[in-house]
Structure 1
Amino acid sequence: MQLYFANHRAVWRVGDVAGVDRALLEESLERHRLPAGTPVLLDDVMRPVEPLSSWFRRLAWRRTAAKTMRTYAYAVLMLLGFLQARGRDLRSATESDIVQFEQWRREHAEETVEEPTWDKDAAAIGQLYNFLVDIGYVTARPWRSTSRGTSLASGKSTDVRVRHMEIDQYIYFRDVGFGGLTPDAGLDAAFRGWRPHRNRAACELALLTGMRIQEWSTLLLPELGLMTGIRPRTADVDLEACAKRKQRRSVYVPVDAMELLDPYLTIERPEIVVAAQRTLRRQHRDLFVVTAIEAEGRRFRGVLEGRTVTRVVKDMAPDLRRITVLETGGGLEPLALFVGRGGKMLSASGWDRVRWRAWDRMVTWSTHQDAPVTPRVCWCYHDLRHTCALRLLIFLTREALGDADAQELPMATLLDHMTGNPLLTVQHRLGHLRPSTTYRYIRYLKDPMREVDDAFRQWTAAGGASYITIARHLMNLEEHTHA
Structure 2
Amino acid sequence: MFVAPDYRVDGLLSLYVQSGAFRRHTPETKRNYATDICLFLAFLWARGLAWTQAVERDLEDFEHWRRFAAENPRLIGGSKWNRELAALVGLYAWAARAGHVPRSPVGTRQVLGPYGAVVSAPVARAKDARRSNVHWLTPRAFRRWVEVGLRGQGGGGLPLPGWCGRLEDRNVAFVDLLYSSGMRRSEAGSLLLFEVPRLRLEGGRYCVGRIAAAVTRSKKARTFYVAAGVVGEIETYVDSSRALAVRRAQRAGRYEDLPRLRVVTDVAGGVRPTVRWLDHNGAAGERRLTDLTVADRMALYTEGPHGLEPLWLWLNERGLPLAVDSWEGVFRTANDRCRQVLTPAGGPFPDPHRVYAPYATAHACRNSFALFMLVVLNHLMDRRFGLTPEERRDFRLLYGDPWRMVQDLLGHASRETTCDLYLAPVADLQLRALLAAAPDASEPGLASLDGVFARLARESEGIQDVDDLMMPAVGGAA
Q: TM-score, normalised by structure 2?
A: 0.71
Q: Who is 1:219 aligned against?
A: 191
Q: Who is 2:11 aligned against?
A: 49
Distance of 1:95 and 1:166 partners within structure 2: 47
| Residue 277 of structure 2 is aligned to residue 302 of structure 1 | yes
Secondary structure of the 1:290 match is: strand
Match of 2:214 among 229, 241, 250: 241
Q: Who is 1:258 aligned against?
A: 231
Any conservation in 2 of the 1:221–1:336 contact (CA below 8 Å)? yes
Any conservation in 1 of the 2:193–2:311 contact (CA below 8 Å)? yes
Identity %: 25
Q: Who is 1:431 aligned against?
A: 411
Letter in 2 for 1:127: G
Distance of 1:381 and 1:362 partners within structure 2: 16
Structure 1 residues 142 and 295, CA, compared in 2 at 3 Å: closer, same or farther? same
Q: Which protein shows a greater Rg?
A: 1
Letter in 2 for 1:450: R
Q: Any gaps of 5 or more consecutive residues in structure 2?
A: 112-119, 345-353, 435-454, 461-478
| Residue 353 of structure 2 is aligned to residue 382 of structure 1 | no
Match of 1:450 among 430, 446, 458: 458
Letter in 1 for 2:403: L
Letter in 2 for 1:390: L
Q: Who is 1:394 aligned against?
A: 375
Secondary structure of the 2:254 match is: helix
For 1:178-207, what per-residue CA distance to the aligned partner results, in whole angstroms no more than 9, with x for missing partners? 235555445767531113222222222111
Structure 1 residues 246 and 408, CA, compared in 2 at 3 Å: closer, same or farther? closer
Q: Residue 209 of structure 1: CA displacement?
A: 0.2
Distance of 1:189 and 1:104 partners within structure 2: 46
Q: Residue 360 of structure 1: CA displacement?
A: 5.2
Q: Any gaps of 5 or more consecutive residues in structure 1?
A: 5-40, 453-483
Q: Who is 2:289 aligned against?
A: 313
Q: Residue 267 of structure 1: CA displacement?
A: 2.4
Secondary structure of the 1:260 match is: helix
Structure 1 residues 387 and 295, CA, compared in 2 at 3 Å: closer, same or farther? same
Structure 1 residues 140 and 221, CA, compared in 2 at 3 Å: closer, same or farther? same
Structure 1 residues 77 and 404, CA, compared in 2 at 3 Å: closer, same or farther? same
For 1:370-427, what per-residue CA distance to the aligned partner results, in whole angstroms no more than 9, with x for missing partners? xxx75446322332212210011112234455699646628725x9358412222212
Letter in 2 for 1:79: F
Name the stretch that deviates more: 208-217 or 430-439: 430-439
Q: Residue 295 of structure 1: CA displacement?
A: 1.6
What does 1:287-436 correspond to in 2, within 5 Å?
287-295=260-268, 298-304=273-279, 306=281, 307-328=283-304, 330-348=306-324, 350-359=326-335, 361-363=337-339, 366=342, 375-376=356-357, 378-401=359-382, 406=387, 409=390, 412=393, 416-417=396-397, 419-436=399-416
Match of 1:101 among 59, 62, 70: 62
Q: Residue 280 of structure 1: CA displacement?
A: 4.8
Name the stretch that deviates more: 194-203 or 218-227: 218-227
Give the number of the structure with larger relative contact order, counting CA–CA contacts within 8 Å between residues 6 or more apart. Answer: 2
Q: Residue 338 of structure 1: CA displacement?
A: 1.9
Any conservation in 1 of the 2:262–2:278 contact (CA below 8 Å)? yes
Q: TM-score, normalised by structure 1?
A: 0.70
Any conservation in 1 of the 2:255–2:308 contact (CA below 8 Å)? no
| Residue 25 of structure 2 is aligned to residue 64 of structure 1 | yes
Structure 1 residues 93 and 202, CA, compared in 2 at 3 Å: closer, same or farther? closer
Distance of 1:170 and 1:360 partners within structure 2: 15
Aligned-pair RMSD on alpha carbons? 3.9
Any conservation in 2 of the 1:240–1:249 contact (CA below 8 Å)? yes
